[in-house]
Amino acid sequence: MSFDVDVAVTRGDARIAASFRTGEGATVLFGPSGVGKTSVLQMVAGLIRPDRGHVRVGGETLFDAGAGIDVAVERRRIGYVFQDPRLFPHMRVRANLLYGAGPAPANWESTIAMLGIGHLLDRWPRNLSGGEARRVAIGRALLSDPRVLLLDEPLSSLDRARREEVMAAIIAVRVTTRVPILMVTHDPEEAARIGTQRVDM
């Protein structure tokens, strides 16, 4: 599974563009805040429509301005984890995890064990630490059976201990599931430890 992305969009007075082709593993979009990394992630997900270019994942075209192709967000099979975990506050962790995954996802047991969140299933999101909430959000994305996983600054605003927990979880996802990851960060340590490929912006 690979990413083939060549896109550009104008947002206000800024022109955001990126072009890269990468293979399996974790591709890190690296650069300072405000350079447009999140916008590129959202163009891959279909949340922002590029002005030009294309997005191909695993050889399948999800967007091509010239050919008039723009696959709907819900049909792209992309797991997206935002900076804010965005868990549903009125649902316990188990229900959050199952949202969009169906009643009995085949990878339930392995995902719960890999992320170390089995003891959290009956908790409410308000009772989770920042690191726990991020791991649950990653689990919810994986349980939707995505072809790729997009992570937007998944370690931001965490203390050192929680940051290490979530970093270990992401590395486990990369190694164990083989689901390709496209991740945004401005932290060189995160890029070095998680990424197998790096795209500088």
Query: Which residue would you say has higher pLDDT here, 82 or 2?
Result: 82
Segments in the chain forming alpha helices (H):
37-45, 93-98, 108-115, 130-143, 160-177, 188-194
Question: Which residue range(s) make up the domain with 157?
Answer: 3-200
Instruction: Say what the pLDDT of residue 23 is.
Output: 86
CATH number where 51 lies: 3.40.50.300
Q: What is the mean pLDDT of residues 35-53?
A: 97
CA dist 117 → 5, 153, 181 (Å):
33, 20, 20
pLDDT at residue 49 is higher than 80: yes
pLDDT at residue 102 is higher than 80: no
For the chain, what percent of residues have pLDDT higher than 70? 100
- Least Cα distance to 161 among 132, 197, 192, 185 occurs for 132
Query: Which residue would you say has higher pLDDT here, 2 or 47?
Result: 47
Q: What is the mean pLDDT of residues 61-80?
A: 96
Instruction: Say what the pLDDT of residue 12 is.
Output: 84
Confidence band of 104 (pLDDT split at 50, 70, 90)? confident
Q: What is the mean pLDDT of residues 140-152?
A: 95
Q: What is the mean pLDDT of residues 44-71?
A: 96
pTM for this entry: 0.93
- The per-residue pLDDT of the chain, averaged, comes to 94
Question: Helix 130-143 vs helix 108-115: angle between axes, to the nearest 10 degrees?
Answer: 160
pLDDT at residue 1 is higher than 80: no
The domain total for the chain is 1
Instruction: Say what the pLDDT of residue 201 is.
Output: 92
